[in-house]
Amino acid sequence: MTIRNLSTISLAILTISFMGILMCVGLLFGEDSEGSNSSGTSPGGSSVSEEVLKHRSLVEKYAKESDISDYVPILLAIIQVESGGTAKDVMQSSESAGLPPNSLDTEASIKQGCFYFASLVKRAKELGCDQDSIIQAYNYGGGYINHVAKNGKKHSFALAESFSKEKSGGQKVDYPNPIAIKENGGWRYNYGNMFYCLLVKQYLTTIQFDDKTVQGIFDEAFKYEGMAYVFGGSSPATGFDCSGLTQWCYAKVGLKLPRVAQDQYDAMSHIDLKDAKPGDLIFFHSTYDAGTYVTHVGIYAGENQMFHAGDPVGWTNLTEPYWQQHLIGAGRYKQ
């Protein structure tokens, strides 16, 4: 996630038309790997090893090509779990392309892994499933998203377990992974890895801020990372648009904001972006025809990073040309 003066950092923010033959990535490989959580921390928000970070530029390249740039932190965490960043087929994505295991070289593995992940993102959005369903499906295959869609549209360990139990015919194998030991004493069903989402998410860290109020704002905002943008949305139940997210997160720490971006801008003390601090709001003009000058707002996190209700909700870099073109400046809450 972001910011040099925080404990962990993120730069990311964090399509196949659903494969005719969905390959269950990780059924025969990578499922017992935990990666290695070294002291290196990722600018992408993942607490991953230096070996994984070496692949960051390729992950960003092919994530952008597949229109999933906001998922870079998750993709890095997947590499950590699949290979620790050291195998040639670093994302263990050969089988998702219909190839034998470990057939792809490193760049091809990342390209295919991003392409495959993007297909899962698309399918999950079509069916209204959550982000954790996508992560688990990288291991199980797209059929898991269908399973989640029929069972509440939200991933849970219980759903992952039931899916694996059905596919394996109830066959269990030893799995002395610390997460598994804590959960059930150290076993899994012999299909994919029912712990996969938990394995990946252990490498996705929460940013720590010095200011309690700022921490509260971001802790609330992070809950909705990956959620689809909903115009007019102002709560977790409805989904969020940009000003709905800022209003909701500020309210959680007792700070009242008006509802729409223009009114929020009018209620703030205006400051230059170079003077902005984490927790300030960043405002933009003319991002769409809203009938007002101010049309978009996000929460500043420092180091030119912003958390906002894009599509999906997540991170973006304010140095990107689009944001520079529409930037107005920052706003600070009037005490």
Residues, the chain: 335
CATH of 212-332, one of 3.40.50.20, 3.90.1720.10, 3.40.50.300, 1.10.3210.10: 3.90.1720.10
Pairing of strands 327-332, 269-271: antiparallel
Query: For 46, which DSSP code?
Result: B
Q: Render pLDDT for 149-207 as a digit per residue (tens, 0 to 9).
A: 999 999 999 999 999 999 999 999 999 999 999 999 999 999 999 999 999 998 886 68
Residue with tokens 């007019």: 232
**Contacts from 244-247 at CB under 8 Å and sequence distance 24+?**
244/309, 245/221, 245/299, 245/308, 245/309, 245/313, 246/281, 246/297, 246/298, 246/299
Classify domain 50-201 at the CATH topology level.
Lysozyme (1.10.530)
pLDDT at res. 206: 65
Type of residue found at 145:
I
CB-CB contact of 301 with 330 (8 Å): no
**What distances in angstroms separate CA 256 from CA 12, 46, 328, one per listed residue?**
29, 32, 22
Share of the chain above pLDDT 70, in %: 85
Type of residue found at 275:
D
pLDDT at res. 205: 61
- The phi-psi region of residue 45 (left if phi > 0; otherwise alpha if psi is between -120 and 50; otherwise beta) is left
307: closest CA among 67, 7, 10, 77? 10
Q: What pTM was estimated for this model as a whole?
A: 0.55
pLDDT at res. 241: 97
Q: Half-sphere exposure of 4 toward its Cβ, with a 13 Å CA cutoff?
A: 2
333: closest CA among 274, 222, 235, 254? 254
Three-state SS across 188-205?
EECCCCCCHHHHHHCCEC
Q: What ranges do the domains of the chain cover?
A: 50-201, 212-332
pLDDT at res. 99: 97
| Positions in the chain whose pLDDT score sits under 50 | 1-46
CA gap 227, 130 in Å, rounded: 7
CB-CB contact of 72 with 63 (8 Å): yes
**Structural element, H or E, at residue 28:** none
Environment class of 281 (CB within 10 Å of its CB; exposed 0-12, middle 13-18, buried 19+)? buried
CB-CB contact of 172 with 156 (8 Å): no
Query: For 186, which DSSP code?
Result: S
From the CB of residue 15, how many other CB atoms can be counted at a distance below 10 Å? 16
pLDDT at res. 149: 97
Three-state SS across 68-126?
CHHHHHHHHHHHHHHCCCCCCCCCCCHHHHCCCCCCCCHHHHHHHHHHHHHHHHHHHHH
Query: For 227, which DSSP code?
Result: P
CA gap 155, 160 in Å, rounded: 7
